[in-house]
């Protein structure tokens, strides 16, 4: 007689439980993926650009601002600068190119890029955050080699600061000539690498020297985080790995690029002067628009007076011609009319 298989129901129940648990996990994973996929869409739908928000309120942006720079503009620094400017009612165009700067126009030429930037009559400010990649030899353009006598100017050479300041002057002057009212160089902030920190001091001096030679440009210092960066790195080494995320870091692990906290600190440090320059640009734009309006009014007044004088002269000529015509007709009438006969005064009988 065969014994009944008592374990068979338990095994089938166990298999069905496993299938159900796997299906539940799959449903949860699919739900999480759907939420993650829809989150950016909802965020982008709710976070409208400042132009659309102002248009909904029946207003216009105070002006347009260009935020240009290296890879930091692609990260937290660019986001924080754009957010701070948009909060003050400006529309922002942001352009960041990784590993770019003023030393290597053979890689990316910022001066040559200026004609392609979206500059209009309402562009009041250009914010530049460059220099983190410039602590190296400068590539000399072919048209400049007759003056400098070489293709590369080493970072340690005495002519490096002069050429670097010249590059800053060229970029600021090109932006101002294109129509930007104000240009602000945000000097490179502190970094966590000692050698790069020492070399960036030379870069900062070159940008300050270049900005001082252009009337519409200025340089804004962004230093002040070095002590905190050093203390944070020392704390990171002493703190166990599982607790390192509790500390607020101002720089990313490479020691150069900023975290969101570091970018917010930089904005707090430079916001007053940057916004002051933006307001100055708005004032200059309004003055230029006022001068243009007055000039157009003067031109319209001159055209109107010229037309009135021309009309008056034409009217005078027409009246003179009418008088001359009347005189001719009167003379003609006198010539064609025979003289009247005199009456005979002698009386005969």
State what percent of residues in the chain have pLDDT above 90.
47
pLDDT tens digits, one per residue of 39-74: 433 333 333 455 555 555 445 788 999 999 999 999
Least confident range of 22-26, 51-55, 204-208, 291-295: 51-55
Token couple for 53 = 């928000």
Residue 149 has pLDDT above 50, yes or no: yes
Q: Which residues of 70-96 are buried (b: 16+ CB within 10 A; e: fewer)?
A: bbbbbbbbbbbbbebbbebbbbbebbb
Q: Which two tokens stand for residue 297?
A: 């009014």
CA dihedral 147, 150, 151, 153 (to 10 degrees): -90
Local confidence band at 21 (pLDDT 50, 70, 90 cut-offs): low
Burial of 233 (0-12, 13-18, 19+ CB in 10 A): middle
Rounded to the nearest 5 degrees, what angle is found at the Cα of 269, between the Cα atoms of 264 and 274?
A: 100
Strands 63-69 and 123-129: parallel
User: What is the pLDDT averaged over residues 150-178?
Assistant: 95
DSSP state of 254: T
pLDDT in tens, 77-106: 999 999 999 999 999 999 999 999 999 999
* CA count, 13 A, side-chain hemisphere, 140: 18
3-class state of residue 75 by DSSP: coil
For residue 113, is pLDDT > 70?
yes
What whole-number distance in Å separates Cα of residue 121 and Cα of residue 274?
Answer: 20
Mean of pLDDT over the chain: 81
- Strands 152-153, 138-139: pairing is antiparallel
Q: In this predicted structure, what is the pLDDT of residue 295? A: 83
Contact 64, 90 (CB under 8 A): yes
Condensed to tens digits (0 to 9), the pLDDT of residues 215-251 reads 999 999 988 777 777 676 666 665 565 555 444 688 8
More confident residue, 107 or 50: 107
Q: What is the mean pLDDT of residues 21-25?
A: 66
- Enter the DSSP assignment of 343: P
In order of their start, the domains of the chain are 49-293 (3.40.50.1110)
Q: For 132-156, b where at least 16 C-beta lie within 10 A, e where not — what string?
A: bbbbeebebeeebeeebeeeebebe
Enter the DSSP assignment of 99. Answer: T
pLDDT tens readout for residues 251-274? 888 888 888 988 999 999 999 999
Contact 78, 72 (CB under 8 A): yes
Output the six-digit token pair for 137: 């030899």
């Amino acid at each position: 007689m065969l014994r009944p298989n008592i374990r068979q129901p338990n095994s089938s129940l166990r298999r069905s439980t496993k299938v159900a648990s796997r299906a539940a996990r799959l449903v949860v994973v699919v739900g999480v993926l759907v939420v993650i996929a829809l989150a950016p869409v909802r965020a982008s739908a709710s976070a409208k650009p400042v132009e659309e928000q102002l248009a909904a309120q029946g207003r216009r942006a105070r002006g347009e601002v260009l935020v240009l720079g290296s890879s930091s503009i692609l990260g937290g620094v660019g986001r924080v600068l754009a957010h701070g400017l948009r909060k003050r009612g400006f529309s922002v165009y942001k352009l960041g190119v990784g590993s770019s700067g003023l030393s290597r126009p053979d890689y990316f030429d910022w001066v040559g890029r200026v004609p392609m930037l979206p500059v209009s009559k309402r562009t009041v400010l250009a914010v530049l955050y460059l220099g983190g990649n410039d602590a190296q030899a400068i590539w000399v353009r072919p048209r400049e080699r007759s003056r400098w006598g070489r293709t590369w100017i080493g970072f340690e050479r005495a002519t490096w600061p002069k050429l670097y300041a010249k590059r800053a002057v060229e970029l600021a002057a090109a932006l101002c000539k294109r129509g930007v009212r104000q240009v602000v160089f945000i000097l490179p902030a502190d970094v966590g690498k000692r050698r790069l920190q020492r070399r960036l001091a030379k870069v900062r001096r070159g940008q300050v020297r270049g900005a001082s030679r252009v009337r519409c440009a200025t340089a804004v210092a962004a230093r002040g985080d070095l002590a905190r960066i050093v203390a944070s790195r020392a704390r990171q080494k002493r703190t166990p790995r599982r607790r390192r995320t509790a500390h607020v870091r101002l720089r990313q692990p490479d020691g150069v690029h900023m975290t969101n906290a570091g970018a917010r600190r930089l904005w707090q440090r430079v916001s007053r002067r940057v916004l002051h320059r933006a307001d100055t640009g708005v004032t200059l734009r309004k003055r230029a628009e006022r001068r243009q309006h007055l000039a157009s009014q003067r031109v319209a007044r001159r055209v109107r007076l010229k037309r009135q004088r021309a009309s008056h002269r034409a009217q005078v000529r027409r009246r003179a011609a009418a008088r001359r015509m009347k005189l001719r007709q009167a003379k003609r009438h006198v010539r064609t009319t025979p003289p009247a006969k005199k009456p005979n005064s002698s009386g005969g009988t």
